[in-house]
């Protein structure tokens, strides 16, 4: 079967393996109270894949959430407790030689208890949350310097939100206060959301707020496509100053402003337009330029050459435009996004660049149609178009001497390995991406509480060769998913 659909696959078969298991049990009462128990285990692998070698992703977890509706009280209580674990590893090798080994583990729990009181058209919601997680991170940068972290983190938060309805206005002021125990930082975060119903068909929206985060996504800007997504918690190993100013805290901070409008004056059609600006006064990133260890004998060396992590600032702005059309058995959804993302960090001068997820244009079109007397058949199509993501170009090659024998190494006779000279950080762009997926679903209803869904789908219908990555050494092009049919069953009871 593999050789029929994938003619370029060798006798060992496809290198991809996916095993996903998810389960949920719900108990519901007549007054609206309910409790859900859930669990999952996802294991994905890419083994011996050309020059990339081995990738492994595993995630598992479980928990419980509940809603309690008291008898005659205009209130409800919600709660959740869950535990999860995620691990990713990437092993690059060439023959018997290991070139790079990256691993990232994150495990932890989260729990929360919230209360909602209904006051006529208004409501007030408040609660507390607590989470704790452990991160283990090991990474070797392009200069063969190891960056590692073992961190335990606890966070406690309290929040309150009031929903106030006044004539044509809907106003939701809220306040959240977050305590980051591992960093000894307290973060007060006011937020507000406003909706104005100008007419029965036209609404204007505004939202603004302050946000903070301790968890960091870490990957390599040297990869053409970022396959390794590591996670680590906020570190104390940061420079003491940034852009000439003293660093007062270790958190990542952001300020958000979103404005928009909704219009549904045309029958069965809803139009939504939103513009946003997000400013990030302080972000944490893995130091891609580290070449020295942060030891007392290197005290005179600048921080950007010896710290594991660096501070950045940035902003993101863009416009999202969406259309939604629903009529009888037909559903149509279309979205266009136009966005910019910028980052700045400090070396011997301030460096401006765009991160790897900066995408200028993105279009999604979804069409579905239900057929049959009981609408038991459903066909759907999704087309996605996107401009190219940035990546760091290869500027040239050189002989790289490792000086493995220290001062006794003889650079005139030693044979080095192949070294890569990189161009401007994320100065290149991948080619444009587009793909069409189609599916047909049939639903068999056995009773009020049980049904079976059979789904036949095709990924990349017209077999578009979307670039995945280009091998920097051999210039071999590797493409993303080809024409790929699949079949699935989903039993709900």
Question: In sequence order, what DSSP letters do the residues of 173-233 get, joined into one string?
Answer: EEEEEEEETTTTEEEEEEEEEEEEE-SSSEEEEEEEEEEEE-EEEE--TTSSS----EEEE
Once rounded to an integer, what is the mean pLDDT over residues 3-11? Answer: 55
Q: What is the pLDDT of residues 222-258, one digit of tens each?
A: 565 666 777 777 777 788 889 889 888 888 999 999 9
**In the predicted model, what is the mean pLDDT of the chain?**
87
Any idea of the CA torsion for 274, 280, 286, 290, to the nearest 10 degrees? Answer: 130
Higher pLDDT pick, 150 / 437? 437
- DSSP character at residue 466: -
Residue-range domains of the chain with CATH: 14-358 (2.40.170.20), 396-422 (no CATH)
Per mean pLDDT, which range of 2-11, 39-48, 339-348, 406-415 is the poorest? Answer: 2-11
- Residues pairing with 153 in the sheet: 133
Q: What is the pLDDT of residue 97?
A: 46
Please choose, from the candidates 204, 208, 233, the residue with its C-alpha nearest in 3D space to the C-alpha of residue 218. Answer: 233
Pair of tokens at residue 365? 């079109």
Q: What is the pLDDT of residue 223?
A: 61
Q: Is the sign of the CA dihedral 236, 240, 243, 249 positive or negative?
A: positive
Residue 96 in this model has a pLDDT that exceeds 50 = no
| Percentages (nearest 5) of helix, strand, coil residues in the chain | 5, 65, 30
The band of 470, judged by pLDDT with boundaries at 50, 70 and 90, is: confident
Distance CA 467, CA 225 (A): 10
Residue 26 in this model has a pLDDT that exceeds 60 = yes
Q: What is the pLDDT of residues 316-362, one digit of tens each?
A: 999 999 999 999 999 999 999 999 999 999 988 899 999 988 999 99
Higher pLDDT pick, 54 / 393? 393
Q: What is the pLDDT of residue 9?
A: 54
Q: What is the pLDDT of residue 321?
A: 98
Q: Please check whether residue 76 is in contact with residue 56, taking contact to mean a CB–CB distance below 8 angstroms.
A: no
Q: What is the pLDDT of residue 305?
A: 87
Residue 10 in this model has a pLDDT that exceeds 60 = no
Q: What is the pLDDT of residue 183?
A: 83
The band of 4, judged by pLDDT with boundaries at 50, 70 and 90, is: low
Any idea of the CA torsion for 389, 391, 395, 401, to the nearest 10 degrees? Answer: -160
């Amino acid at each position: 079967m593999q050789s029929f659909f994938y003619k370029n696959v060798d006798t060992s078969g496809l290198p991809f393996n996916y095993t996903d298991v998810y389960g949920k049990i719900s108990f519901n009462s007549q007054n609206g109270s309910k409790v859900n128990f859930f669990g999952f285990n996802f294991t994905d692998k890419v083994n011996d894949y050309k020059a990339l070698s081995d990738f492994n992703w595993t995630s598992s977890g479980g928990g419980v959430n509940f809603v309690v509706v008291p008898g005659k009280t205009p209130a409800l209580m919600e709660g959740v407790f869950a535990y999860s674990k995620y691990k990713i590893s990437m092993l690059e090798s060439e023959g018997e030689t290991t070139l790079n080994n990256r691993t990232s583990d994150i495990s932890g729990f989260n729990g929360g208890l919230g209360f909602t009181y209904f006051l006529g058209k208004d409501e007030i919601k408040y609660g507390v949350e607590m989470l704790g997680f452990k991160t283990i991170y090991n990474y070797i940068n392009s200069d063969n310097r190891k960056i590692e972290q073992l961190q335990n983190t606890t966070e406690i938060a309290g929040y309150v939100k009031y929903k106030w309805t006044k004539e044509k206005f809907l106003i939701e002021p809220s306040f959240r206060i977050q305590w980051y125990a591992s960093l000894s930082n307290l973060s007060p975060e006011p937020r507000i959301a406003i909706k104005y119903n100008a007419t029965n068909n036209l609404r204007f929206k505004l939202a603004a707020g302050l946000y903070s985060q301790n968890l960091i996504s870490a990957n390599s800007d040297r990869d053409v496509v970022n396959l390794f997504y590591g996670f680590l918690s906020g570190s104390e190993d940061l420079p003491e100053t940034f852009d000439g100013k003293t660093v007062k805290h270790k958190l990542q901070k952001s300020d958000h402003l979103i404005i928009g409008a909704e219009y549904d004056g045309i029958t069965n059609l809803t139009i939504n337009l939103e513009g946003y600006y997000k400013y990030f006064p302080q972000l944490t990133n893995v130091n891609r330029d580290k070449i020295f260890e942060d030891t007392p004998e290197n005290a005179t060396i600048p921080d950007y050459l010896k710290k594991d992590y660096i501070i950045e600032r940035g902003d993101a702005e863009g416009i999202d435009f969406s259309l939604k059309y629903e009529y009888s058995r037909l559903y149509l959804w279309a979205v266009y996004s136009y966005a910019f993302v910028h980052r700045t960090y400090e070396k011997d001068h301030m460096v401006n660049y765009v991160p790897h997820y900066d995408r200028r244009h993105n279009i999604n079109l979804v069409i579905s149609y239900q057929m049959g007397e009981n609408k038991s058949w459903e066909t759907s199509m999704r087309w996605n178009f996107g401009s190219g993501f940035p990546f760091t170009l290869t500027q040239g090659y050189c002989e790289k001497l490792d000086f493995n024998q220290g001062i006794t190494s003889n650079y005139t006779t030693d044979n080095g390995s192949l070294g890569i000279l990189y161009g401007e950080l994320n100065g290149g762009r991948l080619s444009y991406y587009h793909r069409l997926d189609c599916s047909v679903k049939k639903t068999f209803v056995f009773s009020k509480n049980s049904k079976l869904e059979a789904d036949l789908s095709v990924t990349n219908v017209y077999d578009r060769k979307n670039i995945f990555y280009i091998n920097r050494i051999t210039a071999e092009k590797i493409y993303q998913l080809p024409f790929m049919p699949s079949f699935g069953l989903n039993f709900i009871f």
